[in-house]
A and B are shown apart, each in its own frame.
Chain A
């Protein structure tokens, strides 16, 4: 049981090469702030990247920043803020939801978990802002992909390939991200007292107009007190965020108020409070209750999300709120995560994917935490994993249980053969 704490990329490579030669799998961690997501990893040794730190390049006018993978996200965000810039994709902080302190997490973890926030639809996720990487594959090979410029189609985009791979394909050592100017100001318009269905209609109207709403969410009455120190308590809140230059924000808020004048009571929420609200929605604070009750992060097209939730409630008690511009529904259940039912309903109401981001270890060991894939796609993913980490030494079992990954590979291949048989 060794924990390696490399401080240079070459040391990361030696650690992986050693693990390969010993056939000794590694758990890859940054700050460990998201360690409780995914299947419990089966590895005797740990590769801890929190010592591999440092911003190696920041050119605000070129909108680019490079850092070693273990650099704290908080440190980078402070550095950007000092120059009026930001990661436009608003990487969420899983800490509070998972019973960890807030403000932890490394920049490598941001990409490995493909973090995003309530501006997702407009501004993208980590995958949309990554420009280049250096990494060490499960073969112990140090490689790079991409570069430091925004427009680049030279070869396959392996940088995007690392997004959402949870450390199972390669160990990131360096990342280069695009950064953007932060909005000059923001205001949120809250419609009070709507039920889910009317809220969804108001949201569709607002997002389909030219006011350039950057975030849209709905907190039902029972959850409205859980953000921004209770500032929205009392009634449900349907929230629409407008960001940009002062005169533009004022104009667009007026436009929205006109459009929604019959929707319900409208409250205007000024800059600081608006920021606090969206940070809490980003971090799923409504469910940061200090428990291990199951929480689902469900990615679905927005229009039918409330119908999915309604159908679920016919079967069981569930708390839900909608981060529509994040493309998400967040669900909290009582004890059993009900994985099959949740995923069946997601499929029924238009499709998407559901990740069990919080559950106790027993549930996480027993259930598919990540959305199971159809045969041919599962087989393709398994082949990719096998190309990059043939001995299964990087975070084994994280995205699929150890026993299963082998069977997924074979059953996927047989399934795909028989399915394509059916077509021909």
Chain B
């Protein structure tokens, strides 16, 4: 573990391990408690595989009452808990702790209700993202947010990470598609936020929970809205000699009032790696490739394809292909969808970053990345949710060469600093987790971070749920809660007034 400081394991908890395991078996009878090293191995890391840690014990509850009892038990005995869905997090959000119960939600795998008249689905949190679409596609519906990990990742994990996908430009992120949740707080309280109706009453705690990375509560049920499948979808594959031109093309498409269903960009190295791997017919001489997908009624799609093509040509496109069949559309996407494994073929290891920038800064950021690439002596390939400025630089390295992982991590951190410097953010969809935790001060000062931690204090004042993630430094809630009111009275402020 390259220098990542995690909260000091609580010796008392580790000493009481046998007792805690036995108590967990009482709460979750049967196969739901896993405590041998061999069996726990599969849970020792998530999608950020550079970090590994065996948990204290793995518990797989099946009912909300069990979740509530586990959390209440742990809260009363000061035992830490790490929630986990499918373990595909790319930021180490589900990384176990030596002294923490790993609460795995995968047995919550049932769809509870499909309501077509209201176009909603109620699912348990362990249902996969794709599982929801599969359940309703027979009637021509789908669930819009589509992370590339959708076969595996859980809807509960999606809520915890506010996950996105290529269709989020037009249809919104998880936060815009979830209507309600049921969750259990660390003290065992079961709370419902929202439902099939819109906007929760009172404070928007649903908005706060979405993207809270398992630090505020354990999600035990999710209500999402589903959409009717668009009549048709067609894609354009547009190649440019430079990323500046591709970037301007994206700006012009949006400037023309067109919001495509998806708009993805790849840079030269990513184009070539993908083409080598899947032979999608990508133009190898291009330095930037756009995939623009338009969906909706046929007439609309045809109308817009013409306009997008014209915008591409005006920006100096050297190739422009328009999908003529569903088969061809899928081929256009095949390279993009396989970009990660494709890069995996040209390098022993790669490290996936996730910054977001204002789109217009793309040329500057790509240029900066090339300089950093030279400085660190490591290659980088870029795939990019072009419509919303979300970059996925893939840093190429070899973990078997001593020091390369560290170098890759420093390179990654420098890229994220660059993103913040141009007005962007550290993470667009993969979360802070442990990975970007220590970079939080690049974006937020201590007062900003204190406000976030105060939210944490309202939900979990003892910092027992998923500690060591997101916040670079834990501050006691009692200390945060203290008021620093000026000793005497303040002078009447010098502010305009009636």
Contact = CB atoms under 8 A, between A and B. Distances in A.
A380 B493 contact: no
Nearest to B230: A210
A326 B192 CA distance: 22
Contacts of A103: none
Interface stretch (B41-49, B98-106, B283-291, B419-427): B419-427
B498 A3 contact: yes
A152 B425 contact: yes
B447 interface: yes
B498 A161 contact: no
Interface stretch (A223-231, A258-266, A282-290, A387-395): A387-395
A143 B201 contact: no
Given A151-B390, A301-B197, A423 B190 contact: yes
A54 interface: no
A61 B389 contact: no
Contact of B161 (A153, A391, A423, A424): A153
Contacts of B191: 374, 376-377, 380
B495 A15 contact: yes
How large, as a class, is the contact surface on chain B?
A: 35 or more
A209 interface: yes
Interface stretch (A6-14, A188-196, A311-319): A6-14
Interface of B: 65, 68-69, 72, 115-120, 140, 161-162, 164, 168, 172-173, 175-176, 185, 187-193, 195-205, 207-208, 210-212, 216, 225, 228-231, 251-252, 254-259, 296-300, 303-304, 356-360, 385, 388-390, 423-432, 436, 440, 443-444, 447-452, 454-459, 470, 481, 483-486, 489-498
Contact of A207 (B65, B72, B119, B210): B119
A114 B201 CA distance: 11
Interface of A: 2-7, 11, 14-15, 17-18, 20-22, 48, 51, 59-64, 84, 114, 116, 120-121, 124-125, 127-128, 137, 139, 141-145, 147-158, 160-165, 169, 180-182, 184, 204, 207-212, 244-245, 247-248, 250-252, 255, 299-303, 326-327, 350-353, 355, 370-371, 373-374, 376-377, 379-381, 383-388, 390-391, 399, 416, 419-420, 423-424
Contacts of A211: 297
Most buried by A among B203, B205, B359: B203
A301 B489 contact: no
B203 A165 contact: yes
B72 A156 contact: no
Lowest 7 A-B CB distances belong to which pairs? A160-B207, A248-B300, A181-B257, A151-B428, A327-B198, A353-B201, A301-B196
A148 B358 CA distance: 8
Contacts of A208: 116-117, 119, 228
Contacts of A22: 489-490
A116 to B, nearest CB: 7
Given A62-B359, A150-B389, A128 B172 contact: yes
26 contacts: A5-B497, A6-B496, A20-B485, A21-B486, A120-B198, A127-B199, A128-B172, A139-B484, A141-B450, A143-B447, A143-B450, A147-B356, A149-B428, A151-B168, A161-B208, A164-B204, A181-B254, A299-B199, A301-B115, A350-B196, A350-B197, A370-B202, A376-B191, A381-B202, A384-B205, A420-B72
Contacts of A60: 255
B192 A377 contact: yes
Nearest to A302: B118
Given A127-B199, A143-B447, A153-B432, A21 B490 contact: yes
B65 A423 contact: yes
Contact of A4 (B388, B432, B496): B496
Contact of B451 (A143, A164, A184, A247): A143
A301 B118 contact: yes
A3 B497 contact: yes
A150 B173 CA distance: 10
Contacts of A154: 425-427, 432, 436, 440, 443
A304 B205 CA distance: 26
B393 to A, nearest CB: 15
Contacts of B481: 387, 390
Given A151-B356, A384-B455, A255 B297 contact: yes
